[in-house]
Chain A
């Protein structure tokens, strides 16, 4: 995707004393004709000279003289230059037009003949809208609303004085000082006048003044190297206070750079990436498979985006679905269950996944079907969706980071150990754990880290052991524990560069 500029080049103009850059073309003029003329004039001058006046005399852009002044300044004490700013009133484009052709209100007045003019017609004139209201408030014209073919405009006076035009003409003639402060500010408010500041230099001889300045080199060239002439040539010093030129380059998105860092951390820790390339998920995988009951508030229309089309997931692994149904409604696998009427229709409802744990459930189900069981470490970082109205602290789409380890005999202590390693890689070393509730993990822990800036503990993630009611219906062996944790990518900053 690319939006193109008309033609090439930046086309940005500089005005005033301008800024130069280490190797801007202006610098080449340092030793050019303007600088020579300036030095000769200065030699003859009594005291000094003004850069703007010199430019006018020479018939060159003021910017060219400024360039010469700057390059001479860079040579040391040849000249002295004092920056002066003078203010001047100038007409805007509209002001120029009015000085030439009269104010909008005057033009409106003139276009009203003695027998009057329909207001609708008057409004169609170029000056109509602005001029009408001004002429009305000046009491030059009046509107007769009772006229037969709609409102009609008549003259009130026979003639008038166009003060606006007269004042603008004065300014154009360089006599702005003849206007009262109030008159000038009114014209400025009407955007007819602007005050411009002109920055000029008052140039005088320096302590080391000379008209014969040896030419300084701006760049080291291949010729200088091969001939060795660089040994004898003076080089122009760099202007390190110049702004510099940004290089043309592309950029990676800052948040996705953080995503790359997190992928890297997981890969360093031996975690395999899960497929998450399906924004659309069924309620079954998003909720039911995770032992999240069908009346759970997260399954509310207020929190989750459901689909209208396609509204239902037709393909579900029915054997497994039945085991899930039984676990929810009657229990089993050592569980009391939730004891409610589980509905397949509810499970078929399509939605935009509310968490990547749906993808983890799919991955664990695939793992359970592979015999014999092999331990795994999985991760994913991808987009999830919540039915939120956007504001400064709520997004309807964000990225979730998730890590999962499945093995025989994993403990809460293991989960905390893995979290410690993971967060250490993020530069977070002070952790503590708070008991929490999650529908699909038990035990569950919120992870807090001490925030040096805020001077308090802040929640950085959520974690736990997946419930047996989620794992056993999938077919995972009974003594396999699955530890998992999740955090939000949007809440992370870029991890620090580790020091050796």
Chain B
């Protein structure tokens, strides 16, 4: 769940009123947000690096707000305020408009070299925008939040924002050999080739996480203006030349990626959020993108979609009895402008470009329920009549557990994952004979395989309890994982037996081989019984 950090006073100013922490927490809860933490920059630094480092840091109060992972429209102060103000019926949801420029439209031409690495691009222009320090910071922070979430750490989409007045279109999105790309990147004072940059960024705590996206590709994506100035080398870094500043008035935004749908959503979110600060509020200037096949498209899409939902469907799914008019009002409070049409039971809902999360009627039903207030819904018990059954394996397990405990054994609960050594070397068995299931991406050696026997877990439990008085008598009834039947652990010669039930072998018992005992760092003799209980079902 993404967390958005906003300055409390700035938030209250935008909301047009103040709240106590409790009141604001309550509002968040009702709307499906969570006021996760109340802090300040100073407090954060002091917590992470100590009081000394925090000296002089800002103690402006920050609200950290958890936002649902599919609500990209709430990832910045501007979006949060808009959402809450509409919810509280203090403003109406704005109508976002795409307009054609007075002069020539900005063009981004995609060449076919991009096909194998980053085939999609979209673009738009924010004209006559007015940044302040806070607005600028929010603009950068929103890009970062989008990168981390919907853009899947820039793998699916990467955003670049540029000072349009420093550039000259048309722009070209192409892919070149790394050695042939050379430019001055953001916050560097000289030019580097792409190869050099990839090396430099290996030690950059922020950028090193994105290098793998293009690192081993023969061609890297790059965007030029008509004078050969590099705008960006997505998804790694922008050029320093077109860097936006507080004085930037016209912003050219490009989003490139491997997922066309998400690129369009990301562009829509950025321009709907920040066109608020344009001279013509909520108005975005179109840009044209020409694809390698010659087809050209105009972005941002800013598409409004109409959905039709019957009022009784909403009532039936939520468990309420509201009039269609009331339901339309509830939905309108969620930025879904709605009206009753047709036979008086149909509601027509307009899905704005900010709400890409609405993909089905059930999403509309949820918004109606949120606006109605989850905690105002009457709780009822379903009339569903059923007879309960236990899963036979679990029923037998429950019976056996109690008998084992009654027989003086103590129940252990051990991890199902373990090291290869635990199920093989230590038990005197070759790993290939275990038929174990192997994990490809364990973070530690303790989770290399799924256990093929319960024995190692119990022996490790005994080893961790060596100080307890003997005898230790343990049992566990749980699942093991094998590709097919496997070989058991080594027993002391002449001191083991195979257990048969109903004519089939179900396991083994015996005194463990001293080598096994020693490998689990134990010194006392141990005996074990391990059987498969499934044949008894």
Mark A residues whose CB is within 8 Å of B.
1-6, 10, 12, 248-253, 255-256, 260, 263, 266-267, 269-277, 279-280, 295, 297, 301, 305-311, 331, 333-340, 352, 375-377, 383, 385, 387-390, 396-397, 405, 407, 409-414, 416-418, 420-421, 432-437, 442-445, 465, 467-469, 481, 483
User: Are A468's CB and B437's CB within 8 A?
Assistant: no
User: Is B526 in contact with chain A by the CB < 8 A criterion?
Assistant: yes
Further pairs besides A1-B526, A270-B387, A437-B71: 8, Cβ < 8 Å:
A249-B408, A250-B405, A263-B390, A307-B437, A311-B440, A376-B384, A413-B380, A436-B32
Inter-chain contact B360/A469, CB cutoff 8 Å:
yes
Establish whether residues A413 and B377, one from each chain, have CB atoms under 8 Å apart when the complex forms: yes
The distance in angstroms between the C-alpha atoms of A360 and B391, with both chains bound, is 14
Is B379 within 8 A of A416, CB to CB? yes
How many Å lie between the Cα of A295 and that of B151 in the bound state? 10
Would you give 11 A-B contacts (Cβ < 8 Å), ordered by A?
Answer: A4-B525, A250-B411, A270-B385, A308-B439, A309-B438, A331-B359, A383-B479, A407-B383, A432-B29, A442-B360, A443-B365
CB neighbours of A469 from chain B (8 A)? 360
The answer, yes or no, to whether B19 is at the interface (CB within 8 Å) is no
Which residues from A are CB-within-8-Å of B382? 405, 407, 410, 414, 417-418, 483
One of B319, B390, B416 near A273 (C-beta < 8 A)? B390
Cβ of B444 < 8 Å from any Cβ of A? Answer: yes
Measured between beta carbons, the chain B residues less than 8 angstroms from A335 are 359-360
B379 and A442 contacting across the interface, CB-CB below 8 Å: no
Q: In the bound complex, what is the Cα–Cα distance between A420 and B381 (angstroms)? A: 9
A248 → B minimal CB distance (Å): 6
Tell me the smallest distance from the CB of A370 to a CB of chain B, in Å.
14
B379 and A435 contacting across the interface, CB-CB below 8 Å: no
For residue B77, give the distance in angstroms from its CB to the closest CB of chain A. 20
Other-chain contact of A414, B319, B411, B459 (Cβ < 8 Å):
B319
Produce 1/0 per residue, B520-537, CB < 8 A to A.
Answer: 001011111100000000
Complex contact B360–A10 (CB within 8 A): no
Cβ contacts B455-482/A at 8 Å (1 or 0 each):
1001100100000011111110001010
Q: Is B398 an interface residue (CB 8 A)?
A: yes
The answer to whether A250 and B404 touch across the interface, beta carbons within 8 angstroms, is: yes
Contact A411-B386, Cβ < 8 Å, known A308-B440, A311-B440: no
CA distance A340 to B261 in the complex (A): 7
Cβ–Cβ < 8 Å partners of B393 in chain A? 275, 277
A412:B317 contact, CB within 8 angstroms = yes
Complex CA–CA separation, A443 to B409 (angstroms): 46
User: What 10 A-B pairs come out closest when comparing CB atoms?
Assistant: A413-B319, A411-B319, A435-B32, A5-B470, A437-B68, A443-B366, A308-B440, A250-B405, A273-B391, A336-B359
B443 interface hit (Cβ, 8 Å): yes
Contacts of B405 in A (CB 8 A): 249-252
Chain A contacts for B365, CB-based, 8 A? 442-443
Do the beta carbons of A465 and B359 come within 8 Å of each other? no
**B408's contact among A248, A377, A383, A388, by CB below 8 Å, is which?**
A248
Complex Cα distance A445/B382, Å? Answer: 18
State the Cβ distance, A458 to closest chain B Cβ, in Å. Answer: 12
B374 touches A377 (CB 8 A): no
B206 to chain A, nearest CB (A): 17
CA distance A458 to B315 in the complex (A): 29
- Tell me, rounded to whole Å, the shortest Cβ–Cβ distance linking B530 to chain A: 8
Distance (Å) between the CB of B119 and the closest chain A CB?
A: 11
- A2's closest neighbor in chain B, by CB? B473
A487 to B391, CA, bound (A): 20
**A98, chain B: closest CB distance, angstroms:** 29
Give Cα A383–Cα B477 distance, bound, in whole angstroms: 13
A274 touches B391 (CB 8 A): yes
